[in-house]
Structure 1
Amino acid sequence: MTTPTPFPTLVFQAALAQDAAAFITVRGQTRQNAVSAERLAEFGITAESWAELMRSGKLPGHACHANGVLAGYCFGDLDTGEIIVLALLPEVEGMGAGKTLLELVMADLRAHGHQRLFLGCSSDPASRSYGFYRHLGWTSTGETDAHGDEVLEFFFKP
């Protein structure tokens, strides 16, 4: 008889600069839109540059740990109101971790005066992110970003 896999305990906390290398590792392990450390470095994103942005206060973020292991994170740009990245390991998809991480970062950005947030998202309806953001109230601007992703926006209600 097989023992069922226990439901992981999810713990959310403010992201820590010393975990920047782990964030890069997780980014390469996502189910869709995985980006390797080498590819991120081509964009100037390294553990060092990520940690520095976090220490500067310009990149607020939150992390999710499942049974003590980093399982996902979300970061936003304090200056622009952009959701920079939301990444989850496949093992925690569908457990509410992505929604919680996104809501935490959205709250951080709103607390700093942003009434409108935006992000780049796949325009492919078969992509998980396509339905995820729309279900949460994000709408298309009709524009695409430098990476060819559709730009979605979210307006906070007064």
Structure 2
Amino acid sequence: MQLRVARWEDIPAIQLVRNAVRENRLSVAGSIKEADVASYLEARGRGWVCEAGDRIVGFTFADAIDASIWALFLLPEWEGQGLGRRLLETACNWLFAQGVKEIRLSTARHTRAHGFYLKLGWRETGARGNGEAKLRLRRPRAPAAPPAS
């Protein structure tokens, strides 16, 4: 298993993963355009993919402009193996390194994704107009330095 920064040539495989999910399915297949994904590779933030052999099995994108996780998806057969957590930690650590104090995302309530985020310490802060839960994660505080002796 390898995590790496997403590249342009990964976009078709990212689209395949996005369209294969069980939850949070797109209401219109293909409504996330190549240009949408590309904007995170060029201007808005950064993306990462998880590869198994030569196959992309998951991805995430962090949006540095609005301090959010834009996407986190795995192929269904790769769920429950810790890959989502690794991808999310990578994206969050990158956003915090960019100076972000709090990260946002939204997801449907009563889904595996919703439970996943809550288990990892995200806090629900309300609802969007479409009923999705708004979630936030604050930057962890650095441990206090031990007293000088």
TM-score of the alignment, normalized to the shorter chain, above 0.5: yes
Structure 2 residue 103 is the aligned partner of structure 1 residue 117: yes
TM-score for the superposition, normalised by structure 1: 0.82
Match of 1:129 among 85, 98, 113: 113
Q: Indicate the residue corresponding to 2:33 in structure 1.
A: 46
Displacement of 1:40 in angstroms is: 4.6
Q: Distance in 1 between matches of 2:8 and 2:38?
A: 5
Residue 3 of structure 2 is matched in structure 1 by 12
* TM superposition shift of 1:89: 0.4
- The one of 23, 43, 56 aligned to 1:32: 23
Which AA in structure 2 matches 1:148?
G
Q: What is the alpha-carbon distance in structure 2 between the residues aligned to residue 118 and residue 40 of structure 1?
A: 24
**Offset at residue 112 of structure 1 (A):** 0.7
Give the share of equivalent positions with the same residue, in percent: 30
Give the ranges of 4+ consecutive aligned residues of structure 1 lying more than 2 Å apart after TM superposition.
Answer: 38-41, 145-148
Q: Which moved more, 1:103-112 or 1:11-20?
A: 11-20
For 1:56-113, what per-residue CA distance to the aligned partner results, in whole angstroms no more than 9, with x for missing partners?
Answer: 2x12111001222110001111111111110000111111100000000001111111
Task: Report the CA distance shift for 1:147/1:72 in structure 2 as closer, same or farther (over 3 A).
Answer: farther
RMSD over equivalenced CA pairs, Å: 1.6
User: What TM-score does the superposition give when structure 2 sets the normalisation length?
Assistant: 0.86
Q: Which whole-Å CA distance do the structure 1 matches of 2:124 and 2:39 have between them?
A: 31
Please, which runs of 5 or more residues in structure 2 have no aligned partner? 142-149
How many residue pairs get matched? 141
Give the unaligned 5+ runs of structure 1: 1-9
